[in-house]
Amino acid sequence: MYDFLIYDFDGTLSDTYPVFTEAFLNMMEKYGIPKDRDTVYGLLKQSVGAAVNHYDFPMSGKEARAEFEKIYEPIALEKQQLFPEAEGILRFGMEKGKKNYVYTHSGLWVYSLMERMGIRDCFDFVLDCTYDFPRKPAPDALNFLIEKCGIDKSRALMIGDRDLDIEVAHNAGIAACLFDSENFYPNLQAEYRITSLDELKEII
């Protein structure tokens, strides 16, 4: 049904949020801000910006996000892992003649992470934050990817774990699949909902 599979990276292919949370708690400790792991985790599931804005850091939100990235990156490169089914579903798609893409807000270091994870060869194109488009759910970056790669919108599916991923897909006029293993978004409307990436085999 879908030949062009556009994956979000963090929280969709990569089990990012435990590492996100560790890095953010480290930053909070640095500035003496009381820590609550569950609250931080929930805020990060919305966005890093939501977590930064929730707490009283002694710098602007932009500066706080930049500092978070500096703390997070080395931890991620050392510890971050794929979800157990991620490589399998990527290679399943390739075997079926599908094309895999990534649309991520991460920077160039994500390529090193993909190399370590053994999935760099799985993607026809990776759209990272250095392309400097407005962030999700603005459709600019996704529209660029669709045009650059000759993607047929009627056969394209965006797979992501947050409301932003579903919204950006719909804003660009393509179908969306919500990967929500923790039932974090019970009321979010998407064409498909899965709790394991293996379930994509029945959709694509």
The single-letter code of the amino acid at 55 is Y
- Mean model confidence pLDDT for the chain: 96
List all residues 6 or more positions away from 52 whose beta carbon is below 8 Å from its beta carbon.
61, 64, 65, 68
pLDDT at 145 over 90: yes
Per-residue pLDDT tens over the stretch 154-178: 999 999 999 999 999 999 999 999 9
Q: What is the pTM of this model?
A: 0.94
Residue 194, beta-bridge partner list: 179
The number of beta carbons lying within 10 Å of the beta carbon of residue 9 is 24
pLDDT at 2 over 90: yes
Measured in degrees and rounded to the nearest 5, phi and psi for residue 21 equal -65, -45
State the pLDDT at residue 138: 97
Answer for the pair 101, 4: CB distance below 8 angstroms, yes or no: yes
Dihedral of alpha carbons 23, 24, 28, 30, sign: positive
Quick one: average pLDDT of 183-200? 96
Contacts of the segment 125-131: beta carbons below 8 A, 24+ positions apart = 125/101, 125/149, 126/101, 126/102, 127/101, 127/102, 127/103, 128/102, 128/104, 129/104, 129/105
Quick one: average pLDDT of 69-85? 95
Task: Give the whole-angstrom CA distance, residue 47 versus residue 26.
Answer: 17
The single-letter code of the amino acid at 58 is P
> E-assigned strands of the chain?
4-7, 99-103, 125-127, 156-160, 175-179, 192-194
Residue for token pair 């807000």: 105
Per-residue pLDDT tens over the stretch 104-134: 988 899 999 999 999 999 999 999 999 989 9
Task: Give the whole-angstrom CA distance, residue 6 versus residue 159.
Answer: 6
Task: Give the whole-angstrom CA distance, residue 176 versus residue 190.
Answer: 6
